[in-house]
């Protein structure tokens, strides 16, 4: 079993969930609030993890995590946290459950509305070491939020904003690939493309961090092989483990920052009525963004091409489009019933997103609109 300490401590192995009690103790949590969603409960994963992890079945559970975590859900969970006199959180699920737990961890220990902690509102220094401890147990392999320093929340005013702080990194993470074996093929593909987009965007970010860059490349090399296998053979434990590693590595590389893919997918995800999956959006937006960034990426694209097995003269954007499409992902925004009339607003909001700042090429509002049209 691998026990990895890099930014945080990760327990990675099939059956790692059985060490939950030990990891809670190590994280300093004695009475957690467990954040999950109804799908996880219905699938039996909640009961399995609580029983095999040695948890008290009477622990409070918040299972109303929406597909995209919201300010309202954070406030509801906070009420349960306080009523249960909790001293930490367990997040069981995908990125939504983990990001929601991080938001609750901030609200439980700091004064002020959640929006005041958003990075675009100057909130990063407001999040302090007082933040409640979290322990993350991912059931998908995509966001890497179990080792990430950020949380993306949909706010009541319609904006989808990021909280960002090293104090948001979960104190412990349990990455058990057995918990992903039941994931449907399309969700496996979409979450996997989220991980791939993280590895690519962090690698081409202009921020100089050679360690994070090396981690991102390793994640991409693993995912490009393992994701098709995990989609076509969902019970392949090795492929599932490789994807958990790739997702974790994509998030470990967040130290370099993301870029235009996420600057666009965040405001798109803010349209709650459309119920757009973040990983699917990233898969669709990645090729147009790669085309936009190509003119300034002479130093980075060759290494990315080698990582995916593409010849030096190959079209990287076209390759990634074909790759995602081969997994069954719809590759046009119109396929997701995105209304064309919202594209201008999305382009405007993209420049306000915190990930805009670390795209390798400066993008104007007109550039973002052109990328959206390319993806439409």
Rounded (5°) CA angle 210-212-218: 105
pLDDT of res. 2: 60
pLDDT of res. 202: 97
pLDDT of res. 308: 98
Q: Rounded to two decimals, what is the model's pTM?
A: 0.94
The residues that bridge with 160 in the sheet, in sequence order, are 154
223 and 152 within one domain:
no
Element (H, E) at 137: strand 133-138
For residue 199 the two structure tokens come to 């590895």
154 and 61 within one domain:
yes
232 and 271 within one domain:
yes
pLDDT of res. 284: 98
Indicate the length of the chain as a whole number.
376
**Domain end (from 160, 179, 198):** 179
**Which residue range(s) make up the domain with 124?**
2-179
**Domain end (from 132, 156, 179):** 179
96 and 197 within one domain:
no
pLDDT < 70 stretches in the chain: 1-5
CATH number at residue 299: 1.20.1090.10
* DSSP codes of every residue in 317-373: HHHHHHHHHHTT---SGGGGT--GGGHHHHHHHHTTSGGGGGSSS---HHHHHHHHH
* DSSP codes of every residue in 44-92: THHHHHHHHTT--TTS-EE-B--SS-BHHHHHHHHHHHHHTT--EEEEE
pLDDT tens, position by position, 104-148:
999 999 999 999 999 999 999 999 999 999 999 999 999 999 999
93 and 193 within one domain:
no
* DSSP codes of every residue in 247-269: HHHHHHGGGG---HHHHHHHHHH
266 and 132 within one domain:
no
With CA atoms as reference, report the closest residue to 340 among 274, 257, 290, 288. 274
Number of structural domains in the chain: 2
Give the whole-angstrom CA distance, residue 264 versus residue 80.
Answer: 33
158 and 47 within one domain:
yes
244 and 305 within one domain:
yes
Give the whole-angstrom CA distance, residue 148 versus residue 170.
Answer: 8
pLDDT of res. 182: 86
**Domain end (from 151, 179, 207):** 179
211 and 170 within one domain:
no
């Amino acid at each position: 079993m691998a026990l990895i300490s890099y930014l945080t401590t990760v327990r990675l192995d099939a059956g790692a969930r059985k060490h939950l009690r030990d990891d809670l103790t190590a994280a300093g949590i004695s009475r957690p609030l467990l954040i999950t969603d109804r799908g996880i409960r219905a699938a039996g994963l909640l009961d399995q993890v609580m029983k095999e992890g040695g948890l008290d079945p009477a622990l409070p559970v918040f299972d109303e995590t929406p597909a995209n975590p919201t300010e309202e859900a954070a406030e509801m969970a906070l009420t349960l946290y306080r009523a249960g006199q909790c001293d930490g959180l367990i997040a069981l699920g995908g990125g939504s459950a983990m990001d929601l737990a991080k938001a609750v961890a901030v609200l439980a220990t700091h004064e002020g509305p959640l929006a005041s902690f958003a990075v675009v509102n100057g909130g990063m220094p407001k999040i302090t070491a007082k933040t409640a401890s979290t322990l993350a147990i991912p059931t998908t392999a995509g966001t890497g939020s179990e080792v990430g320093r950020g949380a993306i929340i949909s706010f009541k005013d319609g904006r989808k904003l990021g909280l960002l702080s090293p104090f948001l990194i979960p104190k412990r993470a349990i990455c058990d690939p057995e918990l992903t074996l039941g994931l449907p093929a399309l969700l496996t593909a979409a979450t996997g493309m989220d991980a791939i987009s993280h590895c690519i965007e962090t690698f081409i970010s202009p921020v100089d961090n050679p360690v994070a860059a090396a981690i991102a490349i390793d994640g991409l090399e693993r995912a490009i092989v393992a994701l098709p296998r995990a989609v076509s053979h969902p019970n392949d434990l090795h492929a599932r483990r490789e994807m958990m590693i790739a997702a974790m590595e994509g998030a470990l590389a967040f130290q370099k920052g993301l870029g235009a893919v996420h600057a666009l997918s965040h405001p798109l995800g803010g349209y709650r009525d459309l119920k757009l999956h973040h990983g699917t959006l990233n898969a669709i937006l990645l090729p147009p963004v790669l085309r936009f960034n190509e003119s300034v990426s002479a130093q980075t694209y060759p290494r990315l091409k080698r990582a995916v097995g593409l010849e030096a003269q190959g079209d990287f954007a076209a390759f990634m489009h074909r790759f995602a499409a081969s997994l069954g992902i719809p590759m046009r925004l119109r396929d997701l019933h995105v209304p064309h009339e919202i594209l201008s607003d999305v382009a405007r909001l993209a420049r306000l997103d915190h990930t805009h700042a670390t795209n390798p090429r400066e993008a104007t509002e007109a550039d973002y609109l052109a990328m959206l049209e390319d993806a439409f």
